[in-house]
Amino acid sequence: MKLSGKVAIVTGGGGGMAAGISTALAEEGCDIALLDINPEEAEKVAVAARALGRKSMVVGCDVTRHLDVQAAIGKVYDQFGHVDILVNNAGYGQYILVKDMTEEMWDRMIAVHLKGTFSCTKAVIDKMIVQGSGRIINISSVSGMMGAPTHSHYAAAKAGMIGFTKGLAKELAAHQITVNAVAPGIVETPFIGRMNQDLKEKVIASTLLGRLGRPRDIAAVVAFLATEDAGFITGQVISPNGGLLI
């Protein structure tokens, strides 16, 4: 096991991707803290990590609320004593043309993905600097690299996460903290529940490997980035997308 004794925070911890990521990290020996606005769903993911023999905890938290995030991550430090890996994964999709988008829709999208990533990062980096180690993994999207009609606000937020990843990687490299973005293609989770069948079929037809992604496809990349084996990788965008974008 490559992550024995490590502690990871996964935001959006009750979601489909988080379930895969949490399991992959737990299988490598990592204890897991899940932050989610919907703690009931996250509890199911925590139970799965415990079934693998790991410790796990859930903290209810809206990542857009900066002070709540600091308090939630404070509880993780109280429980586990240290945090080695932060996976900024909380998010949601919304399909709407810019001409119909309201200011509230725009603000919420940017707040959850971009401000949430900032706030969670702020809550761990001082202690990671003291530790002289850490892994920050930001879940972006192919949309942040190629754009997509009907979710330009989402694409803007995910592109912003890539810029943040690169800047932060430059700031933290001297402390042996790596910062990377994972930009998945379309993955079968509740997130794509509102995507219509026609669009799903178009995505599959445009994907070289001829299928949607599975949470495990993304989780394997995240788990690798969390290990010592990935210690020379920082500031990168790794895109498990089945050949949707090459």
Nearer to ligand NAD, 198 or 232 (CB): 198
**Distance from C-alpha of 195 to C-alpha of 78, rounded to nearest angstrom:** 40
In the residue annotation, 154 being an active-site residue is answered as yes
Size of the site for ligand NAD (CB under 6 A): 29
Nearer to ligand NAD, 38 or 176 (CB): 38
- Three-state secondary structure call for residue 147: coil
Closest to 10 in 3D by CA, of 31, 1, 18, 64: 18
Give yes or no for residue 62 binding ligand NAD (CB under 6 A). Answer: yes
Binding residue for ligand NAD, selected from 22, 23, 56, 64, defined by CB under 6 A: 64
Nearer to ligand NAD, 69 or 125 (CB): 69
Q: What's the chain's Rg over C-alpha atoms? A: 17
The residue of the chain with the least Cβ separation from ligand NAD equals: 15
Give yes or no for residue 148 binding ligand NAD (CB under 6 A). Answer: no
Give yes or no for residue 161 binding ligand NAD (CB under 6 A). Answer: no
Specify the residue for token string 């119909």.
100
Catalytic residue among 77, 92, 95, 154: 154
Give yes or no for residue 134 binding ligand NAD (CB under 6 A). Answer: no
Which residues have C-beta within 8 Å of that of residue 143, sequence separation ≥ 6?
A: 151, 154, 155, 158
Give yes or no for residue 90 binding ligand NAD (CB under 6 A). Answer: yes
**Distance from C-alpha of 116 to C-alpha of 78, rounded to nearest angstrom:** 21
Which residues have C-beta within 8 Å of that of residue 189, sequence separation ≥ 6?
A: 15, 16, 17, 215
Active site residues: 154
What residue ranges bind ligand NAD (CB under 6 A)?
11-12, 14-18, 36-38, 41, 61-64, 89-92, 112, 139, 141, 184, 186-187, 189-192
